[in-house]
Amino acid sequence: MITVNLRPDLKRKRARSPLQGITESVRGLGARVKDPLLVVAVVAWVGSLGWLGFVVMNTGRQLATLEPQLEQTRAEHRRFKAFLTEKRHQEMIRDSLVAQIGVIRSVDGDRYVWSHLLDEVTKALPAYTWLTDLGADVATTPGAAPAPAPAPAAAKADSNAAPVKTPVAFSIVGRTVDIQAYTRFLRQLEASPWITDVTPVSAQTVVEKERPVTAFSIRATYREADSAYIRTVPLSQSVR
Most confident of 18-32, 185-199, 215-229: 185-199
b/e burial code for range 111-139 (CB count within 10 A of at least 16 → b): eeeeebbeebbeebbeeebebeeeeebee
b/e burial code for range 149-182 (CB count within 10 A of at least 16 → b): eeeeeeeeeeeeeeeeeeebbbbbebbbeeeebb
- Position 213 confidence tier, pLDDT thresholds 50, 70, 90: very high
Say if residue 149's pLDDT is above 60. no
Quote the pLDDT of residue 31: 60
CA distance 208 to 215: 10
CATH architecture of 113-145+167-225: 2-Layer Sandwich (3.30)
Say if residue 193's pLDDT is above 60. yes
Report the SS3 class of residue 7: coil
pLDDT tens, position by position, 74-112: 889 999 999 999 999 999 999 999 998 888 777 766 777
| 211-222: strand order across its sheet | 129-136, 168-176, 211-222, 195-208
Report the SS3 class of residue 203: strand
Partners of 195 in beta bridges? 222
Confirm whether pTM is higher than 0.75.
Answer: no
* C-alpha gyration radius of the chain: 52
Quote the pLDDT of residue 9: 61
Q: Are 173 and 204 in contact (CB under 8 A)?
A: no
Quote the pLDDT of residue 44: 85
CA distance 32 to 164: 103
pLDDT tens, position by position, 32-80: 656 667 777 878 888 888 888 888 888 888 888 888 888 888 889 999 9
Report the SS3 class of residue 202: strand
